[in-house]
Structure 1
Amino acid sequence: MLIMQRGRCLQADESGVSDVVGTVLMITITVLMATIVAIAIFNLQPPMDIPHIDVDIEPNGSNVDVVHMGGEPVDVEELKFMVHGQEITINNSSPLNSSNEWSIGTTITLDTNNTDINLIHKPSQGLIE
């Protein structure tokens, strides 16, 4: 197609425009994808630390005593005692201090006679080994 401008004949060549538009679109899409990935990565929460506790499990008649032998003190409300997928309740006679903190030398008595107990840290959902 020919275009007349000030007495001269110009040819309308738009073939270079599609290359520029394509490049701009590719760069825009790449920047958007990188932004979405960066937002997703930086919004991830770091995993909570699982407390390190050394325990000794001792049968005590129809109950089981779990003794804190070493490691970090932990709030009893943050713990879940499990036997074969069932949560075990803490016996009311367990000698915990007023802050409900389980620390070295403290014993928790559980209402079970099974010594195959898994100790779960509720906030991190991690198994305390």
Structure 2
Amino acid sequence: MDLKEYRNKLVGNEEERAVSPVIGVVLMVAITVILAAVIAAFVMDMGDDMGESAPAPSMDVEEGAGENITINHEGGDSLEAGDITVQIDGGEVGDDDLYESDSEEDSLATDDEISAGGQIVVDSDANEYGEHEGDELQVIHEPSDSIVYDTEI
């Protein structure tokens, strides 16, 4: 029985042995490149689905005449009136109760832009809020679903 003959069949001779490791390395490099390309495509595509970024206005609140609440826009990004919602203690203030000034004739229209120096006045009778002390007031930017102003009155 010639064991060298069986050894060559099982292990391979000197010329055939080096082929297997080279093929393994090439396959591993190919798999790594394909995996990196798939991950990069997934990560690059995620940036498109992030939605609109939230504006960053600087705001302040004060209780005005007749206990109306005045939200003053002091600087930063402008806000479109149609893009915001005002909440007091989690209850949404209706558009009919929001004004551009203390005069209830200046109703806040959805296409109005609120920029530095502008204000939003919340009617004191809005949704029967009554006393506001200790209430939480939030201005929410709907397109980005972000709270752009949050304070306790």
| Normalised-by-shorter TM-score class | 0.5 to 0.7
In 2, distance between residues paired with 1:31 and 1:125?
A: 38
After TM superposition, the runs of 4+ consecutive aligned structure 1 residues lying more than 6 A away are none
Q: Secondary structure of 1:119's partner?
A: strand
Q: Classify the secondary structure of the residue corresponding to 1:55.
A: strand
1:7 is matched with none
**Greater strand content:** 1
TM-score scaled by length of structure 2: 0.59
Pairing 1:90–2:95 present: yes
Q: Which one-letter code corresponds to 1:64 in the other structure?
A: I
Q: With the length of structure 1 as denominator, give the TM-score of the two structures.
A: 0.68
CA contact (8 A) 2:60 2:73 kept: yes
The structural deviation recorded for 1:91 is 3.1
2:146 matched residue in structure 1: 126
The RMSD of aligned alpha carbons is 3.1
Aligned to 2:103: none
Please list every run of 5 or more consecutive structure 1 residues that lacks an aligned counterpart in the other structure: 3-10
Task: Count residues in correspondence.
Answer: 121
- Deviations 1:38-64 (Å, cap 9, x if unpaired)? 112222146614232323232655753
Greater helix proportion? 2
- 1:1-129 aligned at under 5 Å gives the runs 14-43=16-45, 44-45=47-48, 48-58=53-63, 61=66, 63-92=68-97, 94=99, 95=106, 96=108, 99-103=111-115, 104-110=117-123, 111=126, 112-113=129-130, 114=132, 115-129=135-149
